[in-house]
Amino acid sequence: MNRNWIENIYLEALTSTFAEQKRKPTPSQISKAIEETFPLFTKAIEKHVKRESKNVLKENKKENRNFKANLKTRWGKAFDLLEIFICYNLDHGQTLAYSYRKINIKNVKFEVLLRLHARSCQVAFEVLELLKSGFADGALSRWRTLYEISVLGNFLNNKPEDLSQKYLDYSIVESYQERLEFQKNYKKLGNKTYSKKDNNYVEAQINLLKEKYGKDFVKAYGWSSEYLLPGKRNFAGMEETVEFKHMRPFYKMANNYVHSGAKGFLFKLGTYRQNKVMLAGPSNYGLADPGQNTAYSLLHSTLALHGFEKYLEDAVFMKIAELMIEEIGNEFITTQKQIEAEEKSR
């Protein structure tokens, strides 16, 4: 259908009406007729769209079910291995929490790392769901978050407990910065601003932090100033201190699917033939990298909890986890190579 179909409807209706009066409609008469009838015309089209949307939704759900069924047939074993691995790490984290908390009422560093581990497990499950739905780019984007958490956890784990407290206290700075942004835009958002009393309270908290840690504490990554040099107080600087920084190429790639750079649509992880397909939905390709990366980063997040206690159980966990990661990687890579071989033969 041509995109000028609405114009044609109007023109035909007006021509017919004015033909009865034996005269042609003027441009101003056409504009006036459109202005007067457009709301009713739009309403009628809206009703039609809503009626048709039921059929569209039904068909889309059917296609999605079929796609996921085929995806499971192809990638099911890899998905299951990853899910088992996530559950294994979650269970181990729960074991560590229960054991350590029995004899340690409160250790800020352990509690921070434990919460980071819980979030790591949650993000890993999110990646898994994106993989099961065929969204490779989205899965790698969420793995990016998991990688950041694992880097942070390992950075804190190798430092004294007071750094973990600084990291926690910095959340007040982040909330303060969010408030400032909100106050700039609350009118356009249709909301009310904070009361003067609330603002004074938050300002007082910020001043207390400056007195406690120094005025630079409220700057970006100010909580890390004791361990990161100026110019290095950022994620990249923190990343340089961990042993698995060799994952950075994947992190850089994942940035493409988080931000709005051209690379994000010029190269799609879920597309085999990059120049022939403009991917606008799920795909059965490109799931290997986010799948195996998720297992790898989740393990590092879990290992950040080791060291608070010493039991052989932890060594056994690590050995089994390493074997599981190898199996997960092999399964994801094998499946992807099968797809590539099929595509090449076409």
Look-up: residue for tokens 């120094």? 214
Nearest to 288 by CA among 338, 239, 243, 248: 338
> Tokens 């407290």 sit at which residue?
165
pLDDT digits (tens, 9 = 90+) for 122-180: 999 999 999 999 999 999 999 999 999 999 999 999 999 999 999 999 999 999 999 99
129: nearest Cα among 140, 118, 139: 139
Amino acid, single-letter form, for residue 225? S
If we measure between CA atoms, which residue out of 70, 205, 197 comes closest to residue 132?
70
Q: Which residues contact 186 (CB under 8 A, 6 or more apart)?
A: 192, 193
Residues 6 or more apart whose Cβ sits within 8 Å of residue 119: 149
Rounded Cα–Cα distance for residues 189 and 264 (Å): 29
Q: What are phi and psi of 13, to 5 degrees?
A: -65, -45
CB 82 within 8 A of CB 131: yes
Paired tokens of 117: 């581990």
What is the sign, positive or negative, of the torsion defined by CA atoms of 124, 141, 239, 161? negative
Of 166, 244, 248, the closest CA to residue 210 belongs to 166
Residues 6+ apart with CB under 8 A from 264: 137, 256, 257
pLDDT of residue 319: 97
Q: Give CA torsion, residues 339, 292, 294, 96, to 10 deg.
A: 140
Alpha carbon separation from 119 to 77, 147, 149 (Å, rounded): 25, 11, 8
* pLDDT tens, N- to C-terminus, the chain (346 residues): 578 777 777 777 777 766 666 677 777 877 787 788 778 878 888 888 888 898 999 999 999 999 999 999 999 999 999 999 999 999 999 999 999 999 887 899 999 999 999 999 999 999 999 999 999 999 999 999 999 999 999 999 999 999 999 999 999 999 999 999 998 998 889 998 888 888 889 999 999 999 999 999 999 999 999 999 999 999 999 999 998 889 999 999 899 989 888 888 888 888 888 777 788 899 999 999 999 999 999 999 999 999 999 999 999 999 999 999 999 999 999 999 999 999 888 8
pLDDT at 161: 96
Which H or E run contains 129? helix 108-132
Hey, how many other C-beta atoms are within 10 angstroms of the C-beta on 337? Answer: 11
End-to-end CA gap in the chain? 33
**Are 250 and 142 within 8 A, CB to CB?**
no
User: Looking at residue 22, what is its pLDDT?
Assistant: 65
Q: What is the pLDDT of residue 297?
A: 97
Sort 98 into a burial class: Cβ within 10 Å, 0-12 / 13-18 / 19+: exposed
- Give me the pLDDT at residue 317, please: 97
Domain extents in the chain? 75-344
